[in-house]
Structure 1
Amino acid sequence: MTTLSPNEVIARRVAKEFSDGMLVNLGIGLPTQVANYLPKNMTVFLQSENGLIGLGARPPEGMEDDDLTDAGGTPVMAIPGAARIDSVFSFGLIRGGHLDMTVLGGLQVDAQGRLANWMIPGKMAPGMGGAMDLVSGAKKVIVAMQHTAKGIHKIVQECTLPLTATRPVSLIVTDLAVIEPTPEGLVLRELAPGVTVDEVIAATGTPLIISEDIHEMNLAGD
C-alpha cells in the first residue's frame, strides 16, 4: 500500500508518459502538479493557453511573480529558453496539432473515452476555456483525475455532463488505475500499489476489459 496522496500517485504516474523534447499542455488544477515529478535530466516544454512556453515548477515561497503564471493563475517558474506568445499564437499551436500531449482534469469519462470536464449543470462556469481545443488538437490526451468523487463513479457508461469534445482521450490515469480507451472498450492496464482489480471494477461505472499483462504502476522518482 502506497503512502502517497491520491493526487501524487496520479501526477507521478502521468509524468512517466513524458519524453525528452515534448511540447505539452498541462490543464488547470491537478495536471499542473505533474511538472513537479518530471525527471531532472529531461527537457520538456510545457505550454499554457495564456501564452507561455517553457513553464517550470512552482517557485519557492516568496519568489512568486504575478506576471509569470499558468492558465489558472498559479505562479510558475520559467525554464531556460522559455518564450511568451500571444493568445492567437498559443491557440494556433493547439488547434494546428503541434502539441505532443495535453494533460487535463476530468469530471467524467465514458465507455467510449469521451471526456466531460468543464461544467456541472446548475453551477456557475466561466466557460470551456481551451479544453475543447486541446482535446481536439493535441496528439495525445491524458485525463488525470481521482477515480471517484465522494463515492460517485467518474468513469461511466455514458457521460451525463456536457461533453468537452467527441474525440476519445488516449489514456485515463487515476489514483487507482491506468485505463486505456480502445475501440473494443476501456482496458485496465495498470493498478496503483495495493489496489486490486476487484476494487477498480467496483469503483468504475462501466465494464472494463482486463489486460492480460496488467501490472503495478511505476511511481518511482528520478
Structure 2
Amino acid sequence: MKRWTRDQMAARVARDIPEGAYVNLGIGLPTLVGNHLPKEREVVLHSENGVLGMGPAPALGEEDPDLINAGKQPVTLLPGGAFFHHADSFAMMRGGHLDICVLGAFQVSATGDLANWHTGAPDAIPAVGGAMDLALGAKKTYVMMEHLTKSGESKIVAQCSYPLTAIACVSRIYTDLAVIDVTPQGLKVLDIIDGLSLAELQRLTGVPLSH
C-alpha cells in the first residue's frame, strides 16, 4: 500500500498552518514540520525549553550545540528569535498563547482524546514532558502519527486503552494515509492518499468515518 513519507506528512501539516501562527512542534515526527514551512509565510515556532522563533534544521556541520529544541535536536534561530526561562515558556503554553501544537501520539480516540506519553507497559519509559500542557493550552491540537501500529492495528480508536494525556483536545489527525478532522459529529476525512478508497480506509481504521 502506498503511504505518505514522513516528509510528505510534515509538508501536509505545514500547508495548514496559517500566516502569523504561534506553533509548538512536539518531539518526534512533528519536528519535521519546521523544514516545510514556506519561507514567505511568517510562522513563529516555540519550544518548551525556552525558544521562540526557530527556523528549519541546520545544514550538516553547521549545528550549534547551544541551540536545541525540547527533543535535544539542533535548530536554527530566525531574525527576532528569543531565548527565555522555561518557566516563562510553560506560562506561554498554559496561558493559551499558542495557536497550534503538533504532537505525536500512540492513540487518538474518535472523540479527540489523546494518549501520547505512556503505553502502560511495565517496561515502558514514561515521557510526560510538556504534552499535557500543550494539548490543553494550545488553541488547536494537531496530531501527526502513522495510521497503523507495527502489528497493523489502528492508532485511531473508539476509546484509548493507553493512559490519557488529555481529553477531547485533538482537532485534526494527520497520518501516512489520511487527514481527518475530529468534529462533534464524528471523524471527517479531509484528505486521503491516491489509490486508497474511503471504504478501505474505513476498514483499516475500524471507527466510523465520514467524507
TM-score normalised by the chain length of structure 1: 0.90
Q: Does 1:127 align with 2:127?
A: yes
Residues 143 and 171 in structure 1, CA contact (< 8 A), matched pair in contact too = yes
Residues 28 and 72 in structure 1, CA contact (< 8 A), matched pair in contact too = yes
Map 1:139-218 → 2, pairs under 5 A: 139-150=139-150, 151-208=152-209, 210-211=210-211
1:190-214 CA-partner distances (Å, limit 9, x unpaired): 1123322122112213121x22xxx
Displacement after TM superposition at 1:5 (Å): 4.8
Residues 27 and 71 in structure 2, CA contact (< 8 A), matched pair in contact too = yes
Map 1:102-113 → 2, pairs under 5 A: 102-113=101-112
* Whole-angstrom CA distance in 1 between matches of 2:201 and 2:47: 33
Residues 95 and 136 in structure 1, CA contact (< 8 A), matched pair in contact too = yes
1:58-88 CA-partner distances (Å, limit 9, x unpaired): 1111111111011000001111110001111
RMSD of equivalent CA atoms: 1.5
Residues 136 and 169 in structure 2, CA contact (< 8 A), matched pair in contact too = no
Partner of 2:8: 9
Letter in 1 for 2:193: A
SS at match of 1:28: coil
Letter in 1 for 2:137: G
Letter in 2 for 1:190: D
SS at match of 1:25: strand
1:109-153 CA-partner distances (Å, limit 9, x unpaired): 011111101111223325311000001010111000110012111
* Whole-angstrom CA distance in 2 between matches of 1:12 and 1:198: 25
Deviates more, 1:45-54 or 1:162-171: 162-171
Letter in 2 for 1:197: L
Residues 4 and 193 in structure 2, CA contact (< 8 A), matched pair in contact too = no
Residues 51 and 84 in structure 2, CA contact (< 8 A), matched pair in contact too = yes
Q: Does 1:138 align with 2:125?
A: no
Partner of 1:53: 52
Q: How many residues align?
A: 209
Displacement after TM superposition at 1:185 (Å): 1.2
Displacement after TM superposition at 1:20 (Å): 1.6
Partner of 1:77: 76
Deviates more, 1:74-83 or 1:16-25: 16-25
Residues 25 and 46 in structure 1, CA contact (< 8 A), matched pair in contact too = yes
Percent identity (aligned): 49
Partner of 1:214: none
* Whole-angstrom CA distance in 2 between matches of 1:5 and 1:156: 21
